[in-house]
A and B are shown apart, each in its own frame.
Chain A
Amino acid sequence: MKILVLNCGSSSIKYQFFSLKDNTLVAKGIVEKIGMKGSFLKHEKENGQKVMFEGEILDHEIGVEYILGVLSSPKHGCIKNLNEISAVGHRVVHGGELFTESKLVNDEVIDALVKYTELAPLHNPPNLKGIYALRSLIPAIPQVAVFDTAFHTSMPKHAYMYAIPYALYKKYGIRRYGFHGTSHRYVSARACEILGVNPEGLKIVTCHLGNGASVCAVKDGLSVDTSMGFTPLEGLIMGTRSGDIDMGAVSYIMDKEKIGTKSASTLFNKHSGLLGISGISSDFREIREAASKGDERCLLAIKMFDYRVRKYIGSYAAAMGGIDVLIFTGGIGENSDVTRAGICEGLEFLGIELDEQINAGSRGQEILINKPGARVKIMVVPTNEELMIAIDTQRIIAESKSQDTRPE
Chain B
Amino acid sequence: MEKMIVESIEDFGLSKKKHQHTLFSKIGVIGCGKDGQNIARIASSYGIEVIFIELSKQRIDFAYEQLGKILDRRIENWGMTQGEKKLILSRIRGSLDYKDLKECDFVIEAIRTESSARKITERKEVFKKVEKVVSPDCIIATNSSTIIITELSSELEHRDRCVSLHFFVQSPEAKICEVVKGLYTSDAVYDRVLTFVKLVNRQAIPVEESAGLISIRLYTALLNEACEVLMEGVGSMSNIDTVWKIGFGMRFGPFELADILGIDKINRWMENLYSEFGDPMYMASPVIKKLNRAKRFGKHVCWGFYKYDEGGKIIGSSPMNSERI
Contacts and interface: CB of A to CB of B under 8 A. Distances in A.
A50 B14 contact: no
A51 B4 contact: yes
Nearest to A270: B81
Interface in B1-15: 2, 4-10, 12-14
B77 A35 contact: no
Contacts of A259: 77-79
A52 interface: yes
Contacts of B47: 11, 35-36
Nearest to B19: A62
A56 B2 CA distance: 26
A53 B8 contact: yes
Interface size class of chain B, counting residues whose CB lies under 8 Å from the partner chain: 20 to 34
A54 B12 CA distance: 11
Q: B interface, by DSSP: helix, strand, loop or mixed? A: loop
Nearest to B83: A270
Nearest to B76: A257
Contact of A55 (B8, B25, B81): B8
Contacts, number: 83
Nearest to B10: A55
Given A52-B6, A54-B8, A62-B19, A69 B13 contact: yes
Given A55-B8, A259-B77, A271-B78, A49 B13 contact: no
A54 B78 contact: no
B5 A51 contact: yes
B22 interface: yes
Interface stretch (A206-214, A261-269, A284-292, A394-402): A261-269
A263 B77 contact: yes
A137 B19 CA distance: 14
Interface string B86-122: 0100110000000000000000000000000000000
B9 A41 contact: yes
B49 interface: yes
B250 interface: no
A30 B36 CA distance: 35
Given A51-B5, A69-B14, A70-B12, A37 B77 contact: no
Contacts of A264: 78
Contacts of A51: 4-7
A195 interface: no
Contacts of A68: 14
Nearest to B15: A65
B80 A266 contact: yes
A217 interface: no
Given A35-B25, A35-B47, A52-B7, A73 B80 contact: no
B78 A263 contact: yes
Contacts of B9: 40-41, 53-57, 66
A251 to B, nearest CB: 15
Which has the most chain A C-beta neighbours within 10 Å: B8, B49, B78, B79? B78
A59 B22 contact: yes
A65 B77 CA distance: 40
Interface in A51-103: 51-59, 62, 65-66, 68-70, 73, 76, 82
Given A53-B12, A62-B19, A37 B49 contact: yes
Interface in A293-321: none
A263 B75 CA distance: 9
Contacts of A69: 12-14
A266 B25 CA distance: 26
Given A40-B9, A54-B9, A65 B4 contact: no
A280 B12 CA distance: 41
Which has the most chain B C-beta neighbours within 10 Å: A36, A41, A76, A259? A36
A257 B10 contact: no
Contacts of B14: 65, 68-69, 82, 137
A50 B49 CA distance: 29
A270 B81 CA distance: 7
B160 to A, nearest CB: 26
A36 B79 CA distance: 22
A220 to B, nearest CB: 42
A291 B222 CA distance: 58
Interface string A16-42: 000000000000000000011100110
Interface in A112-152: 137
A253 to B, nearest CB: 9
Interface of A: 11, 35-37, 40-41, 49-59, 62, 65-66, 68-70, 73, 76, 82, 137, 240, 257-259, 262-264, 266-267, 270-271
Given A35-B47, A49-B2, A258-B77, 19 more contacts: A35-B22, A36-B91, A41-B9, A50-B4, A51-B4, A51-B5, A52-B5, A53-B9, A54-B8, A54-B9, A55-B9, A56-B9, A62-B19, A66-B9, A82-B14, A240-B81, A259-B78, A264-B78, A271-B78
17 contacts: A40-B9, A50-B2, A50-B4, A52-B4, A54-B9, A55-B10, A66-B12, A66-B13, A68-B14, A76-B7, A257-B78, A259-B78, A263-B77, A263-B79, A264-B78, A266-B78, A266-B79
